[in-house]
Chains A and B, each alone.
Chain A
Amino acid sequence: MLTRDFLHLTSSAILTHKLRSFLTMLGISVGIAAVVILTSIGEGLHKFIVAEFTQFGTTLVAINPGKTSTMGMSMGVFGTERPLTIEDAEALSRLSFAKSVVGFIQGNAEVEGNDRTRRTTVYGTGHDFPTAFSMPVSSGQFLPDDDPRAPRALAVLGSKVRDELFGNSNPIGKRIRIGGDRYRIVGVMESKGQVLGFDLDDTVYIPLARGLEMFNRDGLVEIDVLYHEGIDEKKVVAGIKRLLKSRHGREDFTITTQQQMLDVMGSILDIITFAVAAIGAISLLVGAIGIITIMTISVAERTSEIGLIRALGGRYSQILLLFLGEAVVLSAIGGVVGLAAGIGIGQLLSLMIPALPVHTPWTYVVLAEVTAVLIGLAAGVFPAMRAARLDPVEALRAE
């Protein structure tokens, strides 16, 4: 039998029962659409979180006080016996691979300026912060390279704090009070939005030493080392470890590389993507059962036709292929419709809810269609074999 004739016979059988064929295809379409939508959201989430993590660059290493084996996002460990100090940060900045080193202290304080008050997050940090975290200032400058132990009382505002306190007026040079101390504003940061739930615009940056004093802490929350590209991450980690061990006498700190964070996050996100795909797969299973049911009914209804085809010289394999073909065509068309619906709904969702990350990779599209065809094959095998194995004499009597 020629391929064209095979397709004609298959499609004519499908078109004879339009409603039944449509409903069968619908089962697969819904399944494929569910898989595509759910995996698109999962993949979008994956991409979104990875982008959030890597927006500060991938050559970043975080050092936190305290020895912990926990991987993932730094929570900051306070109360270590040997805190991380400004001197540690200075020593780290002298390492050959260090591009910039930024210490951190974080707290919450009341900021007063322009006759307004706002309680907000205050970061104590160094002048390399914009370089290390790719966060440029929109006006003025960032904190200058003062003596880290005795810096001037200067502050840089996040864009939201600027808006809240000063509106559209230029705050550069104006005085504000942070935690009761007077500061002069030297710059305003560019808007960065939210990163993993933290509003980076609702912040004020002050020098590290002043932050330690303001929040009455004797150690830094974190030191971030940005190293030159092309240098082996292992060498960077070893270099930092060697230096800090020599300064602290033992390993009482935790080094977390960007890659470790991404690996842990990636494995969690892979599980989430797999889980949502599995939920979609249940819909596909229902679609497959629909195909088996309809094809079994079709074989029963067309028993006489099967007998006739055998009488006219049709082979076992031809009958098998005809019925398998019907199942595959039904599922393949259902798959295409499901893909279109899934991608369409995904796009609609991202338009309606811009915050919801949706991303449909082409590999998923191809994989979903291949899955649909395979489901058709698997679901069609049993009814098709039943049709092919019918005794032609009995089949002809069936009318």
Chain B
Amino acid sequence: MIRLEEIHRDFQVGDQVVHALDDINLEIGQGDYVSVMGPSGSGKSTLLNLIGILDHASSGRYFLNQQNVTDMDELEESRARNQHIGFVFQSFHLVPRLTAAENIELPLILAGIHADQRRRLVGEALETLSLTDRAEHTPDQLSGGQRQRVAIARATITEPTVLLADEPTGNLDQHSGAEVIQTLEALNEKGITLIIVTHDLKLGNRSLRSLEMVDGRIVSDHTQ
């Protein structure tokens, strides 16, 4: 479902070329639960951005659901992000002026879904994540855990095949973090491919497959 072939991602920093990803070959199947760990600057987030089609490889090929992402134009990339990929960020990235329901609705608005259908889908998502009574609250009226649940609802509202989570518990207390992880794992059990980037060894060890990165390379690929 996700296949990376000889992926390189280089950045020019002054006179030097930094190899953020160095010859990455990776296959992730539908419904897999993968954690990506490693020290800061090891290329975890770059890998996540590349899988999320926010960034482009300097060389190599990337296939998502049998489609060659490398050949996609801007419109196709945007559509692929909207329909196949969900993002959950450490800092939630909720739009502060919009309510919880409106934040969840955003990907559907961008896809041009009609208002009636949007209302129904958002209502279901709010109910699934126990956020119905927080629908009209703005982010500053929500707790950290609630904000991340709103972000998860937004990431999954278009029923993507891949959910990418970058340090999803990094800004949460232990209790809220545990709740968020349970929510993500529940989604994975329903068939969504879950890829989590984390520094947290305990969280990393919960996944069925864990990758360790150092200096832009995958140095270990361990399946439990």
Interface residues of A, Cβ cutoff 8 Å to B: 1-2, 4-5, 9, 12-13, 15-16, 304-305, 307-316, 318, 392-393, 396, 399
CB distance A1 to B112 under 8 Å? Answer: yes
- The minimal Cβ–Cβ distance linking B22 to chain A, given in whole angstroms, is 18
Write the chain B residue with the least CB distance to A9: B109
The digit string for B145-178, where 1 denotes a CB below 8 A from any CB of A, is 0000000001000100000000000000000000
- Looking at the complex, which one of B81, B91, B112, B114 makes contact with A312 (CB distance below 8 Å)? B81
Is residue B97 within 8 Å, beta carbon to beta carbon, of the partner chain?
yes
Inter-chain CA distance A282–B87, complex, in Å, is 47
- The minimal Cβ–Cβ distance linking A303 to chain B, given in whole angstroms, is 11
- Among B164-217, those with CB < 8 Å from A are none
Inter-chain CA distance A95–B211, complex, in Å, is 110
CB distance B89 to A396 under 8 Å? Answer: yes
CB distance A2 to B109 under 8 Å? Answer: yes
Contact A309/B98 with A392-B54, A396-B54 known, Cβ cut-off 8 Å: no
- The minimal Cβ–Cβ distance linking B195 to chain A, given in whole angstroms, is 14
CB distance A311 to B109 under 8 Å? Answer: no
Is residue B107 within 8 Å, beta carbon to beta carbon, of the partner chain?
yes
Inter-chain CA distance A307–B160, complex, in Å, is 19
Contact A314/B97 with A392-B54, A393-B55 known, Cβ cut-off 8 Å: no
Interface size for B (C-beta < 8 A) is 29
CB distance B112 to A311 under 8 Å? Answer: no
Contact A308/B55 with A313-B81, A315-B78 known, Cβ cut-off 8 Å: no
Is residue B79 within 8 Å, beta carbon to beta carbon, of the partner chain?
yes
Is residue B52 within 8 Å, beta carbon to beta carbon, of the partner chain?
yes
Write the chain B residue with the least CB distance to A13: B97
CB distance B75 to A315 under 8 Å? Answer: yes
CB distance A5 to B95 under 8 Å? Answer: no
- Please name 5 pairs of A and B residues whose Cβ atoms are closer than 8 Å in the assembled complex, sorted by A: A12-B97, A308-B93, A311-B87, A311-B93, A399-B91
Is residue B132 within 8 Å, beta carbon to beta carbon, of the partner chain?
no
Is residue B15 within 8 Å, beta carbon to beta carbon, of the partner chain?
no
Inter-chain CA distance A62–B212, complex, in Å, is 101
CB distance B91 to A314 under 8 Å? Answer: no
Contact A313/B112 with A12-B97, A393-B49 known, Cβ cut-off 8 Å: no
- Looking at the complex, which one of B87, B91, B110, B154 makes contact with A1 (CB distance below 8 Å)? B110
Q: Which residue of A4, A13, A311, A316 has the most chain B CB atoms within 10 A of its CB atom?
A: A311
- The minimal Cβ–Cβ distance linking A306 to chain B, given in whole angstroms, is 11
- The minimal Cβ–Cβ distance linking A387 to chain B, given in whole angstroms, is 14
Q: Which residues of the partner chain B approach A308 to less than 8 Å between Cβ atoms? A: 93, 95
- The minimal Cβ–Cβ distance linking A21 to chain B, given in whole angstroms, is 12
Q: Which residues of the partner chain A approach B93 to less than 8 Å between Cβ atoms? A: 304, 307-308, 311, 396, 399
Is residue B106 within 8 Å, beta carbon to beta carbon, of the partner chain?
yes
The digit string for B45-57, where 1 denotes a CB below 8 A from any CB of A, is 0000100101100
Inter-chain CA distance A309–B87, complex, in Å, is 11
CB distance B111 to A313 under 8 Å? Answer: yes
CB distance B109 to A393 under 8 Å? Answer: no
Q: Which residues of the partner chain A approach B74 to less than 8 Å between Cβ atoms? A: 315-316
Q: Which residues of the partner chain A approach B82 to less than 8 Å between Cβ atoms? A: 312-313
Inter-chain CA distance A83–B104, complex, in Å, is 93
Inter-chain CA distance A311–B96, complex, in Å, is 17
Q: Which residues of the partner chain B approach A396 to less than 8 Å between Cβ atoms? A: 54, 89, 93
Write the chain A residue with the least CB distance to B83: A313
- The minimal Cβ–Cβ distance linking B26 to chain A, given in whole angstroms, is 19
Inter-chain CA distance A164–B139, complex, in Å, is 82
Is residue B18 within 8 Å, beta carbon to beta carbon, of the partner chain?
no
Inter-chain CA distance A107–B107, complex, in Å, is 86
CB distance B112 to A2 under 8 Å? Answer: yes
Write the chain B residue with the least CB distance to A2: B112
